[in-house]
Structure 1
Amino acid sequence: MSEFWTGKTAVISGGSRGLGLHLAMELARQQSHLVLIGRDADNLRLQRDRLLQAGAMTVDSFACDAAEIDLQSGFRERLERSGVDLLVNAIGVSDRGMLDQLTREDLLNQFNTNVLVGWSVTKSCLVPVTQNQGCIVNIGSLAGLIGTPNMGGYCVTKFAWTALTRQWRMELKERGVHVLLVAPGPIARDDSDHRYDALLAQRGIQQKGASKPGGGAKLRRIDPVWLSQRILVAAAKRERELIVPWKARIVIGLFAFAPGLAEYLLRRSLHRD
């Protein structure tokens, strides 16, 4: 499966940074045609050069709010030429705070970024994805399957993203389009330990574990390169859901059959320092 995506066209919303960029780099190594959507035009130009050097056959980029990708001149024409074999929705925003610490605006902003943007991009790409009977990969989170303290708004919107992904899968199956949900735990990044310091100070949040990856749950940070490779294999095999780490499936399953026990185990896993 390591060369499955060679010569194929992949669209990545959020492809100029984070996990989206790691996926783009892995696809470049497999000599794919890349179409990137991101806000930062300068960064898109920088990453375009890097991706071409890594082996991408072509790289087209569109600097805009992904929710308005339809307004970008040339976007539809670019996809009509080749169709879309792989669409990755990798745009999302994390957050910290319990539900009663959020404003209505905080929650609406998260819902827009974590749900509506991906829905808009998917709608814009449906015709070329259907043309190639391609695969849609929605990057979610364990927080979209398990409620976690200190991440109230993020969990709410990621649960909605999980529901939307599963609904797309049901609706698009007859068109030959597959939809994969990826639900990883915390992904390793250089700023993991200090990423939320300013936000926590702004909101006056002092809960133990709130600043830690996963909202305080004791989870090993995932190597983004390994995760990118695993995601592309799962997409090629048309797996339905990729949950990392796999042991999280135990707690997820318990919520259906023994929610009290599941909540007890989840609380036991939280950092107490």
Structure 2
Amino acid sequence: MADPSSSLAAGRVVLITGASAGLGAAIAREVVRRGEARALVLVARRADRLDALAAELRGVAPGVEVLTISADLSEADACRRTAEEAVARFGGVDVLVNNAGLGLPTLFADSPVEDLVRQVAVNLTAPILLTRHLVGTLTARRGTVINIGSAITCVANSALGAYGATKAGLAYWNDAIRRELERDGVTVCLVEPGPIKTEFSDAFQKLARDGARPHPVVETPSGWMTADVDDVARRVVGLLSRPKRRLSVRRRMVWPFRAMGALAWAFPALGDWFVTRVFGVDQASGRAREAR
């Protein structure tokens, strides 16, 4: 007799944001490899990369339908249009992976205001709006929402202030909607990966080329802090069969961060001293002052 869970998985429609490269693309490949969906909706700004990934996935699994949507999720209307196009094509969405994220390679004081606005829109506003536009179909299908957060929220990092704030907000909202939607049969999961071995955002590359001073964290992450993108993707897709409220992908990364956060909360002055020196923020700021 056929396994009911297998037929359920085969009928899923999975929407992944930030799917043109990195973790999003790896999640799409893993979904297809495991046979977890009948259809994929891949969303990102770079249409050429989405089309290339779609062709790759169709070659691996010809029976899986793939819809690509080129959209800039920093625009609120793009979230609505993405949801409407996915529902119009497939009748609904079973799994929403809010993966799209934007990091900036400079310290807060060096970041252009327009880039900070876009960072908040992509990292926090877009997941909220896209989930809101899809909540009806997710509820009807007793679906799943997976939010890609960050272990950085465990400790307020002076080198990643705005980025960490967006991820902290995402974590708060994740827990809130998990409690609200649980009664409607919707599963909500938060993933806390550390740094991942993958290309950084377009904004990172652009600002780096423009000569911004080096970022003490994202420029040179320690090897022990860096996770393999395919391993992270496997763990994320594993949530579809074994959901967890919160998945800490790299425990050796996340738990030290949590300990640092507890230290900073209990002893603020010691926490300030420790965090700024561990991540080299004082040195980076000092170099900038000398350059000025």
Q: TM-score, normalised by structure 2?
A: 0.78
Counterpart of 1:249 in structure 2: which amino acid?
W
CA 1:144–1:79 in structure 2 vs 1: closer, same or farther (change >3 Å)? farther
Aligned with 2:68 (options 50, 56, 61): 61
Matches within 5 A, 1:1-273: 5-31=9-35, 32=37, 33-55=39-61, 57-66=64-73, 67=76, 68-71=78-81, 74-80=85-91, 83-189=92-198, 191=199, 196=204, 199=207, 202=210, 204-206=212-214, 208-209=216-217, 211-213=219-221, 219-247=224-252, 248-252=254-258, 255-256=261-262, 259=265, 260=267, 266=275, 269-270=278-279
Structure 2 CA distance for partners of 1:227 and 1:258, relative to 1, 3 Å: same
Given the superposition, is the C-alpha separation of residues 210 and 35 from structure 1 closer, same or farther in structure 2, using an over 3 Å criterion?
closer
Higher-Rg member (1/2): 2
Distance change (3 Å), C-alpha of 1:188 and 1:173: same
Is the contact made by 1:196 and 1:211 (CA closer than 8 Å) also made in structure 2? no
Q: Tell whether the 8 Å contact from 1:98 to 1:153 is kept in structure 2 after alignment.
A: no
State whether residues 187 and 224 of structure 1, in contact with CA within 8 Å, keep that contact through their aligned partners in structure 2.
yes
Paired residues in the alignment total: 264
Structure 2 residues not aligned, in runs of 5+: 285-292
Which amino acid letter does the alignment assign opposite residue 104 of structure 2?
D
| Secondary structure class of the residue paired with 2:227 | coil
92-101 or 115-124, larger mean C-alpha shift: 92-101
Deviations 1:58-101 (A, max 9, x none): 11222223441433564322242xx3221101111011333333
Give the counterpart letter for 1:19 in structure 2: L
Give me the whole-angstrom Cα distance separating, in 1, the residues matched to 2:164 and 2:13. Answer: 32
Tell me, in whole angstroms, the C-alpha distance in 1 between the residues paired with 2:205 and 2:59: 36
Distance 2:225 2:261 in 1: 22
**One-letter amino acid matched to 2:29:** M
Contact conserved, 1:140 with 1:182, CA < 8 A, in 2? yes
- Kindly state the Cα deviation for residue 220 of structure 1 after the two structures are TM-superposed: 2.9
Distance across 2 between alignment mates of 1:75 and 1:111: 24
Which structure features the higher share of helix residues? Answer: 2
Change (3 A) 1:11 1:206: closer
Tell me which stretches of 4 or more aligned residues in structure 1 moved more than 4 Å.
Answer: 195-198, 200-204, 206-210, 261-269
Q: 1:47 to 1:208 in 2, by over 3 A?
A: closer
TM-score (norm 1): 0.83
For structure 1, the residue ranges without an aligned partner over 5 or more in a row are none
From the superposition, tell whether residues 107 and 211 of structure 1 become closer, same or farther in structure 2 (CA, over 3 Å). same
**Equivalent residues of 1:185, 1:219 under 8 A apart:** no
3-state SS in 1 of match to 2:196: coil
